Amino acid sequence: MADRRNERRHQRTLEDIAPGEWAEFVTRQPRAHILQLIEWGRLKDHFDWDAYEIAAADLHGIRASALTLVKDLPMRLGKMAYVPMGPYAEDGLHYEALWYAIGKETGAAFLKIEPGHLAPGEELALRSMGFRPSPQTIQPPRTIIIDIRKGQDAILANMNQGTRRKIRKSLASDLRIRTGERRDLRAFGQLMQATGDRNSFGVHNADYYAMVFDLFMPRYGTLLLAELAGELLAGVMVFALGGKAWYLYGASSRAHRQVYASYGLQWAAIGWAKKLRCHSYDMWGVPDHDEAILEAQFRDRRDGLWGVYGFKRGWGGELRRTMGAWDLPFSRPIYAAYRAALRARQIGLFNP
């Protein structure tokens, strides 16, 4: 008992935790993710969510953290708390402390987490703490991850022949690839909108990408642009943390397709990640189906993420699925109503 009282006496409040300490804790986690940085909360706090930084810490440092986003549910069903690609804790007791703190601080009816790629056995741990698989995900649960630890020739050799050929044609063209600046965001936003309209997936407005730029670049990311004779043909926003890189936002034009701007640009982004000594490059988001279905249908489908799967599949990455979404009810009646509304399609998808 004395040890437990002493432990409580030496706990620190959130106000004691500096942003740099939070970032350092997140970075050293095996599942470190850009979506668990305080900056991600600041971004989402300006666009439809309320952000909470919830942590357990003592004199030795942070023991658990959860960048938590909160949104009102439709139909006056209360609030949902959501932890993207997290949380992190040193042991089960600290996880339990996080669940309690999230429920208390946010007043949410239930907690949704998307923990990412869990180690074997961690699913059982989630179930033992009261979580259940959720029918509603927010981030794309399936992705393609490229191992970029080897040399460039080895990475190219692992791609399909068509992708290698297009990269080489792009590099041999007059395409110019450069690091974007803030003044380029208007053109990038317009290109994002055109790409979303063409491929039938949602995109954010120009203010959103401007805030992403201000919060994350250059410390955690870069904006890369591909131009031909001054005309913007493609752009990507890529992020890196803890030895991993993510391609979260990308856009391309249909003009001058013979220079394969998206291929040269993506190759440059992989090179940027390698310079930072990243070991993996996450293409971030393909349709949530097994490989057999993806390969059978991608030539005929262009809706949603199907439109980009044909591009992403050729880069020699591994098709992987995260653990998806898991829910922990705080109010069982409200959670039951939420599940019923999902079945009746009265609650749509959230914007990630």
User: Could you tell me the domains of the chain?
Assistant: 2-139+323-343 (3.40.630.30), 142-321 (3.40.630.30)
Tens digit of each residue's pLDDT (9 = 90 or more) over 210-244: 999 999 999 999 999 999 999 999 999 999 999 99
Specify whether the CB–CB gap between 48 and 71 falls below 8 A: yes
> Sign of dihedral through CA atoms 69, 203, 349, 77?
positive
Beta bridge partner(s), residue 50: 70
Total-model pTM: 0.91
Close Cβ partners of 231 (under 8 Å, ≥ 6 residues apart): 253, 255, 256
Return d(Cα 238, Cα 265) in angstroms, integer.
11
- pLDDT tens over the chain, length 352 residues: 444 434 443 455 566 778 889 999 999 999 999 999 999 999 999 998 999 999 988 888 899 999 999 999 888 889 999 999 999 998 888 999 999 999 999 999 999 999 999 877 788 888 999 999 998 999 999 999 999 999 999 999 999 999 999 999 999 999 999 999 999 999 999 999 988 777 666 788 889 999 999 999 999 999 999 999 999 999 999 999 999 999 999 999 999 999 999 999 999 999 999 999 999 999 999 999 999 999 999 888 887 788 889 999 999 999 999 999 999 999 999 999 999 988 887 666 566 6
> What pLDDT shows up at residue 13?
54
